[in-house]
Amino acid sequence: MNRLKSQLYVPLRTPRDAVPFLAKGELHWRKGYSAHAPATTWFGNVGLPSNVQNMLDETATFGGAELIDGFFERKTDLRDGLRGPSQTDLLAIIRIRRGIAVLAVEEKVEESFGNIIGNQESYSEGKKIRPAGLQALLGVQDKDVSRLRYQLFPRAAAAVFEYQRYNCNNAFLLVYSFSAQQTGYDDFCAFARAVGLGDGPPMTTLGPKTIDGVSLYAGWLSDALPTVSDRPV
């Protein structure tokens, strides 16, 4: 049985307060990049951002969702014994009609979802453990996933493990895109199809797919880049 680690969280007074939690601090705090977008999109809202709320309201499972807590740069142990947790841009705990749910938000502008799975020739045996374990968790160990982007695997796994941590009802992997070119959308669709979540246009909720007892959903949401505000609240 995995032992859950507790952690204290400090409230943010301005979007810039998220900088110390970023992997590379100020280097990741740049307008037009995905580390900058979550804080400026979610900060200061009373509840969920309207676009997120509207998307969830289109589903029977997540309709009427209410934000309970949100954590920027949430670190999740992937339970593979390797150093380095998965770091989700924003993890939201939401109240739904039948209990609570986890919303794991991956925000993107023009960045890709990392290297493709097949680019592991230079990896040590130790570094190959994580991709193999993630593929097994998501039920694609017997499929050819060599052309899929790696980053979506740990993000989906984090949603599953945080679901189990909170003992809630459903988990949702949401890609929140600020790309006018929809950069990465084809990679997201290929991943969703491969793991059995199905297919559909942007703003569509895919799934669920049962993974390790978790009902996992996914979706792609498009929006314009947020404006910046460092006003304390």
List pLDDT tens digits, range 21-31.
555 555 555 55
> Side by side, which strands form the sheet with 214-222?
66-76, 86-96, 99-108, 170-177, 214-222, 205-211
Tokens 């390797």 correspond to what residue? 82
Average pLDDT, the chain: 82
Residue 97 CB neighbour total at 10 angstroms: 12
Nearest-angstrom CA–CA distance, 21 and 189: 29
CA nearest to 166, candidates 110, 109, 124, 104: 104
pLDDT at 39: 63
Nearest-angstrom CA–CA distance, 47 and 125: 44
List pLDDT tens digits, range 139-190.
999 999 999 999 999 999 999 999 999 999 899 999 999 888 999 999 999 9
Label the pairing between strands 205-211 and 170-177: unpaired
pLDDT at 84: 81
Q: Which two tokens stand for residue 196?
A: 């059995």
pTM, two decimals, is 0.82
On the question of pLDDT at 13 being above 70, the answer is: no
More confident residue, 30 or 95: 95
Section 118-123 average pLDDT? 72
Label the pairing between strands 99-108 and 170-177: parallel
In contact, 158 and 86? CB cutoff 8 Å: yes
On the question of pLDDT at 14 being above 60, the answer is: no
Adjacent-strand bridge partners of 100: 95
